[in-house]
Amino acid sequence: MSLFKNPANGFKYALEGVVHVFRTQRHMRFHFLTLVLVLVVSLVFRLSREEVIILMFTVSLVLTAEMFNTAIEAVVDLVTQTYHPLAKFAKDIAAGAVLITTINALAIGFLLFPGGDRLQIMGSEVGLRAPDWATIMIVTLILLSVMITMWKVAGGKGKLLKGGVVSGHSAIGFFLATTIMFMTQKIAVAIMAFLMAVLIAQSRVEGGIHTLREVIAGALLATSIACVVYLVLSPVFPL
């Protein structure tokens, strides 16, 4: 228990658990990819804040169930390497929990995305309500964070919060700068925001944490995702 007296250590070990499951479990990688697709689809269909909350909670249940399934399998394999009915029973129950959450997620997805008629029905009967900018920004930020995590883990270099094949700090900095540019639509404010993002990227290079190529990759990823979302997928800022 002493290992978790420091809250920072507990957060670090939790992230290591997520990274380990992502690297070793094919199903977890599929779930993360599905999360990316779900976030993109939620932006395309311009879901309301309440619908996004339901969607994120559902996806979180699936990811959590998969992690518990992996943990139970690891504990069972630690206890016994030979066949035992109770060991099989424990693994089957854990896998069943994943199955139930997955079926639940599919059902909710079907209810939220009823074929290609959603936009037509909403537009003609109840009116298509664009989500507020805060919902769009948060969903896009989660999407960016998930993509950075997948890229870092797949690259196998550095740690999740430090180093890696792409700079997460630079990506977040340029994402916020792009968001500020769209929100304010003022050149002077946008220039200052991007200068701050450049300073963040420069500090990562000077500190030897990332190379120039890695901070540029993070900047381009964040800026492109923000622009695509704000201009194409779910525009909420007036041009």
Q: What is the DSSP string of 166-192?
A: S-HHHHHHHHHHHHHHHHH--HHHHHH
Known catalytic residue at 66? yes
Residue 45 has pLDDT above 90, yes or no: no
Q: Are 149 and 160 in contact (CB under 8 A)?
A: yes
Residue 145 has pLDDT above 60, yes or no: yes
Is the pLDDT higher at 46 or at 70? 70
The pLDDT of residue 125? 43
Mean pLDDT of the chain: 82
pLDDT average, residue stretch 35-45: 85
pLDDT bin (cut points 50, 70, 90) of residue 86 is confident
Please identify which of the residues 50, 66, 73, 206 carries the catalytic annotation: 66
- pLDDT over 70 percentage in the chain: 83
Residue 136 has pLDDT above 70, yes or no: yes
69: its two tokens: 């399934």
Residue 138's Cβ-count burial label (10 Å; 0-12, 13-18, 19+) is: middle
The pLDDT of residue 1? 46
